[in-house]
Amino acid sequence: MKKYSYIIIDDDAESILKTKTAASGFSELSFAASASNFQDGLNLVLEHKPALIFLEIEPRDLSSHLSLTFISELHRYFQDIPKIIITTDKKDSAFDAIQYGVFDYLLKPVAHIDLLKTVLKLKKANLESKSSDLTEEQPSIVIDNANSVTIPQNIQKPLTICIKSYGDYRYLNAEDICYFQADNNSTDIYLNTGEMITAFKTLKHFESVLTYPFIRIHNSYVINRNYISRIHSGNSICYIKNSTKKIPFSKTYRANVEQIIADFAAGNYLEV
């Protein structure tokens, strides 16, 4: 029988205990550790590499910094991240959680029957994975009136963002985007060429569908970490490469900026 190790990340000690108690009723689930804040939770995941993470995204203690951005952070370190099971007492963030590709969304306190459904889904996913490993993946064929083009679907392609408006399709390479700036109910997208394009979606929408290296640092800005040339903590400002643009960051998102600084330091890095 396959075992699934799990970590619980929740700022409420009582909730951790209740989730652990519910999970103890399933021999397939093996408890590894628990944490009450973003950084401790991340450290535990990197250390234990669990199959599952039970994650609270609407904490009572805001200083815990628990949110869906925890999932984005995992993508920095894992090719395939653990399966995320959201455990919270509100339904409000269910749609946003789906955009992050979570495996399941359970309301607290976690009920036995709900967790049973999750375990059954895990087993089904495991069987389907084994089945696909035994079957050679066939490439799909894209055909038009002139040509037939074979495109292997298992090749990872760079993300393309399509800005659609009244039959007009504008295609952007995500890696060319420096930052997004909110403009009421629309969002201005700034490219590394200096060009600006407006999309009729809110900044919150882009934050919910994009993952690392795109990071929210202000109510009005989501920034591409790869285009940051300087961070001035005293003035709460980020500078953009090859640009005079200065982007402010707010106290609400200071933890995200600290993660960016830590990310730079974790690379091929020399501080003088």
Residue 98: pLDDT above 50?
yes
Higher local confidence (pLDDT), 170 or 265:
170
Note whether 126 and 50 are same-domain residues.
Answer: yes
Residue finishing a domain among 111, 131, 151: 131
Residue 132: pLDDT above 70?
no
**Amino acid 1: pLDDT:** 61
Whether 146 maps to a domain, the answer reads no
**Amino acid 66: pLDDT:** 94
Higher local confidence (pLDDT), 194 or 268:
194
**Amino acid 125: pLDDT:** 80
Whether 149 maps to a domain, the answer reads no
What the block records as the tokens of 235 is: 């003035």
Whether 137 maps to a domain, the answer reads no
Whether 150 maps to a domain, the answer reads no
Note whether 123 and 231 are same-domain residues.
Answer: no
Whether 181 maps to a domain, the answer reads yes
Note whether 33 and 88 are same-domain residues.
Answer: yes
Check which CATH number belongs to the domain holding 127 and give it.
3.40.50.2300
Residue 126: pLDDT above 90?
no
Whether 246 maps to a domain, the answer reads yes
Regarding pTM above 0.75, the answer is: no
**Amino acid 150: pLDDT:** 42
Per-residue pLDDT tens over the stretch 208-257: 888 888 999 999 999 999 999 999 999 999 999 988 899 999 998 888 89
DSSP 165-233: ETTEEEEEEGGGEEEEEEETTEEEEEETTS-EEEESS-HHHHHHH--TTEEEEETTEEEEGGGEEEEET
Note whether 184 and 110 are same-domain residues.
Answer: no
CA Rg value for the chain = 21
Whether 90 maps to a domain, the answer reads yes
Q: Say which range, 100-104, 126-130, 156-160, 260-264, has the weakest mean pLDDT.
A: 126-130
Note whether 47 and 126 are same-domain residues.
Answer: yes
Note whether 127 and 165 are same-domain residues.
Answer: no
Residue 147: pLDDT above 50?
no
As for how many domains the chain has, the answer is 2
Residue 135: pLDDT above 70?
no
Per-residue pLDDT tens over the stretch 21-44: 999 999 899 999 999 999 999 999
Report residue 270's pLDDT band, with 50, 70 and 90 as the boundaries. confident
Note whether 20 and 118 are same-domain residues.
Answer: yes
| Owning domain of residue 40 | 4-131
Note whether 9 and 105 are same-domain residues.
Answer: yes
Higher local confidence (pLDDT), 149 or 254:
254
Closest Cα to residue 106, out of 37, 57, 139, 60?
A: 57
Residue 136: pLDDT above 90?
no
Q: Is the dihedral of CA 220, 225, 226, 228 positive or negative?
A: positive
- Burial (CB < 10 A; 0-12, 13-18, 19+), residue 179, is buried
Note whether 88 and 41 are same-domain residues.
Answer: yes
Note whether 121 and 202 are same-domain residues.
Answer: no
Per-residue pLDDT tens over the stretch 42-62: 999 999 999 999 999 999 999
Check which CATH number belongs to the domain holding 224 and give it.
2.40.50.1020
Per-residue pLDDT tens over the stretch 150-195: 434 444 567 899 998 878 899 999 999 999 999 988 999 999 999 9
Whether 113 maps to a domain, the answer reads yes
